Amino acid sequence: MTNSILLQNGTVLSHDGDKVVVLKNHDILIVGNTIHHIGQGIELPEESRVIDCTGKIISPGFIDTHHHLWQTQLKGRHGDESFMDYMVSGNIQSYNYSPEDIFWGQLAGCLQSIDAGVTTVVDHAHMTYSPDHATEALRATTSSGLRSVFCYSSIWRIKSWSSAVEYDDTLLPDWWYDTLASLAKSAPYSDGRVTLGVGFDQFQLPKEQVIRLWEKARELGVKIMTTHFAALSMKNSVNLLSDYGLLDASILFSHANGISESDAALLTSKGAHVSTTPETEMQMILGDRVAFRNDLKSHASIGVDCHANNSSDLLTQLRLGMQSARAAENSQAMAEGKYPGVKIKVEEAFNLGTIQGAKAINMQDQIGSIEVGKRADIVVFDASSPGMVCAAEEDAVGAVVMHASVGDIHTVIVDGVVRKEEGKLVDIRMLDSLSSTEKGAETTWKE
């Protein structure tokens, strides 16, 4: 059996529905890009590659449901900034990026995600100054090896920027629609690893223009539409999308801070999802983190948002999100004179970064858990590292959520291909063009 990998004798974090089932001393056989068999003492197929997972935890790859991957060159700018500060020093800086700048920023963002054990990213690609900006970002994504929903986005483009900023009056020019159609015609990319979505935030446009965009995207086969939403500052809302007849399971709301109980009920009833990004939301004064709210957690997922501002790993986001939600619950209990407790469990946080992320993008039948027949998106942690030692014997899920760091990630496999091994990123070969079927020059992270 060629093109196969055997992960041997590890602690496997599998799922039975939303319940994590820990399988000790188990093997996983990967054939091509698919999980072929899970069991003990699996016979070694001919020509298989063996990865010894003794003393290691084998986890589903993590799914980041909100990220702007192009922003790598902006790192170091935003540590003490609020949201409005960031909008100037970060968000609208795509004005200063050439398509080549976008390529390298995007590629680095993708590789940082893989290094951190993130195997799938919903990329809200809000740097679309030209068709070349979009295609270079997509070329970087396909070259990196990351699985992604590349959400080609509409933005207000800057026309000139000196003492003041002058914006282009045309939000959705003909070339924007032409590029969307061209990208959709060629999608999916890299044997289905990279699919096309759409990002849209400009709900101040007339209703008929919004509906036209949605209808065009659906006509082109776009499966995921993502939008930023914070109740205190953004016009778009669950109710607005419902009124337009657009609210359904294809919609992924990023942040959703301040969402009302009635909007939450409407959102879940229509099958839409939300993505919480704890680190940016806490710093940039966006409001409460909603992923662990009882009325939303069944339709919640988690994201990094801006690796230019904070860490690229979901482990940090899961811990911050869970602990801040625990703190909020207990602060309320104490204010009401009740005895506090720990109601939110580590399993909920783990699921938020795995199977819940898959559900948010309607890919739960392909990724998000370790099951026979699903895509081989897998992360292997070294449970004997100084940071994780002893924890796995007590609670393997808790070992990952509470104790693991990027430095503990031994191996990352995306779509059946090893992308990180023995703690280091594997070299990649870059596509010469988005339409190319042959790989170009090999590059390492240091290059």
| Number of folded domains that form the chain | 2
Preceding omega of 99 cis (within 30 degrees of 0): no
Q: Which amino acid is at 71?
A: Q
**Three-state secondary structure call for residue 249:** coil
- Collapsed DSSP state (helix, strand, coil) of residue 172: coil
Whole-angstrom distance, CA of residue 420 vs CA of residue 110: 13
pLDDT of the chain, 447 residues: tens digit per residue: 458 999 999 999 999 999 999 999 999 999 999 999 999 999 988 888 999 999 999 999 999 999 999 999 988 887 787 777 777 777 778 878 899 999 999 999 999 999 999 999 999 999 999 999 999 999 999 999 999 999 999 988 888 787 777 778 888 999 999 999 999 999 999 889 999 999 999 998 999 999 999 999 999 999 999 999 987 766 667 999 999 999 999 999 999 988 999 999 999 999 999 999 999 988 887 778 899 999 999 999 999 999 988 888 999 999 999 999 999 888 888 888 988 889 999 999 999 999 999 999 999 999 999 999 999 999 999 999 999 999 999 999 999 999 999 999 999 999 999 999 999 999 998 888 776 666 666 777 765
Do residues 205 and 291 share a domain? yes
Tell me what pLDDT residue 1 has: 46
Claim to verify: residue 181 and residue 261 sit in the same structural domain: yes
Q: Say which DSSP state 233 is in.
A: T
Count CA within 13 A, CB hemisphere, residue 158.
Answer: 16
> What is the rounded distance in angstroms from the CA atom of residue 112 to the CA atom of residue 145?
12
DSSP string, 310-333: S-S-HHHHHHHHHHHHHHHHHHHH
CATH code at 282? Answer: 3.20.20.140
What's the confidence (pLDDT) of residue 310?
86
Whether residues 354 and 285 fall in one domain: yes
- Which helix H or strand E contains 283, and what residues bound it? helix 278-283
From the list 353, 383, 354, the residue with the least C-alpha distance to 368 is 354
Q: What is the pLDDT of residue 446?
A: 63
Distances in Å between the Cα of 7 and the Cα atoms of 44, 46, 110, 150 are 10, 14, 24, 30
Rounded-to-integer distance, Cα 190 and Cα 197, Å: 15
The residue type found at 390 is C
Rounded to an integer, what distance in angstroms lies between the CA atom of residue 36 and that of residue 180? Answer: 36
Give CA 271 to chain center in angstroms.
19
Same-domain check for residues 259 and 378: no
Domain that holds residue 391: 4-60+368-427
216 and 308 within one domain: yes
Looking at the structure, do residues 155 and 46 belong to the same domain, yes or no? no
Say if CB 247 and CB 267 are below 8 A apart: yes
Q: Is residue 439 a part of any domain in this protein?
A: no
The per-residue pLDDT for 429 is 87
Boundary of a domain, candidates 360, 377, 395: 360
Residue in the structure block whose two tokens are 């590629």: 107
pLDDT of residue 187: 94
pLDDT tens by residue, 363-374: 999 999 999 999
Last residue of a domain, one of 315, 333, 360: 360
Residue 294 CB-half CA count within 13 A = 2
Q: Confirm whether 440 is domain-assigned.
A: no
- Asked if residue 35 is part of any domain, the answer here is yes
Same domain, 52 and 98: no
Residue 16 sits in a domain whose CATH number is 2.30.40.10
CB 32 within 8 Å of CB 19 = no
- pTM value is 0.95
Q: Are residues 173 and 259 in the same domain?
A: yes
Q: Which residues contact 362 (CB under 8 A, 6 or more apart)?
A: 223, 224, 249, 250
CB 38 within 8 A of CB 74: no
